[in-house]
Amino acid sequence: MVACSPSRRIVIAAGLRLPQARAGGAFAKEDAGHLGARAARELLARTAIPGDQLDEVIVGCVGPPHDQANVARVIALRAGVPRGVPAYTVGRNCASGMQAVTSAVTRIEAGIGDLYLCVGVEVMSGYPLIFNQAATDFFARLAGARTSMAKLAAMASFRPKMLSPRIALMEGLTDPTNGLIMGKTAENLARDFGIGREEADRYAVRSHKRAAAARDSGRMAREIVPHLGLGSRPGKLALTADDGTRDDQSLEALGRLRPYFEKPDGVVTVGNACGITDGATALVITTEERAQELGLEPLAVIRGFAWSGCDPSRMGLGPVHATSQLLERTGVSVGDLGAVEINEAFAVQVLACEKAFASREFAAKHLGRSEALGELDPRLLNPNGGAIAIGHPVGATGARLLLTSAHELHVRHCELTLATLCIGGGQGGAVLLERPSA
């Protein structure tokens, strides 16, 4: 938990993101190294920052390709950053992009450099199918066979069930400590807080309507750079906006969907949960003084951040735990916030966070507070929609939330915004941003 030093203000000096595309769609042939480099290269070009002045490149990614183990280095070199500038990859599940930024903040606070390029990236389209153990053993036997008879014996051991793959995405979304896939932890919250199907679906409709309005008004164009996906067909146009937003989404349409994780009477469906998505966001993190030297007008001052653990079976409440610590350290109250971004992993998860924020009982039992954190104004919560409508490319989302929150400072002419999200495994992250003119 860090409240940044007021004597050396650390800022998001610049940032941009690519449109977020539904997995298997516009960016299906991308890889994290290429998609991340596209965002990084564009940001360096727009800011005219010489690559050799960077102290380091830090990238958040949950599932980098097997041949890009340190995908940060791949991104840095592909973006034209000189070889002498180091790069490393961080992972904190859904908060990996946010972790990249807070890692840079920590290094600046420690006096280790003052100019960092931070990227959050994920190509969920590229998550592989994996050979099961029986198939792995079969291929090992076959590779180890040295005689014709041994090879025939190995071949004879083949069974059709060996072709049944393990699905990396599903296994990655399942907590190994309790065996719960993330959607089932959301069902726990629906029961804990008495959240019904219609309430969740209404929230999902709101997310789509707000995202569509933000797109149509030009609000999202403030942060998005169009991108033509790698391997696109000739004549294909660049994607200019997040393509998961459904303009015609309705309560009636959502009501026809069946529960996905708990059948037949669960609350979570594919319609009131976030989409599986590809995307990338790039940010420049530096000091206010260095930004001025570079001729950059900062988007936001990073006032402080916090990380917190919570019950893995209720991982969706991570934002409440992290925000509680952050507000306590910075002396800020919920009423001071001009906008709040809570990642929409699931509608019931955001609704549960709303209820927990406003609950004195929850505060006393779980946060060590005598009073509730405070009620979140629905008008200020995810005012441009969220992951239900625009997707959740897990490694990129934390950085995307920060970029969106930074722009809200200027759109709403407010002094403070909050970006926060839940993290698989039972954690929460929160960052408080301040308008530079404040």
Geometric angle at alpha carbon 51, from 103 and 406, rounded to 5°: 50
CA separation (Å) from 109 to 6, 14, 67, 127? 11, 19, 33, 36
Rounded Cα distance between 154 and 147, Å, is 11
Mean pLDDT per block of 10 residues along the chain (438 residues) reads 68 98 96 98 98 98 94 98 98 97 97 97 93 90 91 90 87 90 96 97 98 98 97 95 96 96 95 97 98 97 98 97 98 98 98 98 97 97 98 98 98 97 97 90
Residue 304's pLDDT is: 98
Tell me, what's the pLDDT at 192? 97
**DSSP assignment of 73-100:** HHHHHHTT--TTS-EEEE-BTBTHHHHH
Q: Please identify every residue annotated as catalytic.
A: 94, 392, 422
Under a CB-based contact definition with an 8 Å cutoff, are residues 174 and 327 in contact? no
Share of the chain above pLDDT 70, in %: 98
What pLDDT score was predicted for residue 168?
86
The angle subtended at Cα 397 by Cα 392 and Cα 398, nearest 5°, is: 150
CA distance 77 to 34: 10
Cα 207 to Cα 345: distance, rounded to the nearest angstrom: 12
Q: Tell me the C-alpha to C-alpha distance, in Å, between residue 321 and each of 177, 324, 333.
A: 20, 5, 14
Q: Cα–Cα distance between 324 and 358 in angstroms, integer?
A: 12
Could you report the per-residue pLDDT of 383-402, keeping only the tens digit for each?
A: 999 999 999 999 999 999 99
Q: What is the DSSP string of 264-285?
A: TT-S--TTSBPPPEEEEEEEEE
Q: Which residue has the tokens 């002094």?
A: 415
Give CA–CA dist 303/301, Å, rounded: 6
Q: What share of the chain is helix, strand, coil (3-state, %, to 5)?
A: 40, 20, 40
- Count of CB atoms situated within 10 Å of the CB of 218: 8
**Cα distance between residue 212 and residue 438, in whole Å:** 30
The pLDDT value recorded for residue 2 is 55
Q: How far apart are CA 246 and CA 249, in angstroms?
A: 5
Beta-carbon contacts of residue 218 (< 8 Å; ≥ 6 apart): none
Q: For the segment 309-331, what is each residue's pLDDT rounded down to a tens digit?
A: 999 999 999 999 999 999 999 99
Token representation of residue 286: 């530096």
Alpha-carbon gap, residue 308 to 329, rounded angstroms: 13
**CA pseudo-torsion sign 357, 363, 368, 370:** positive
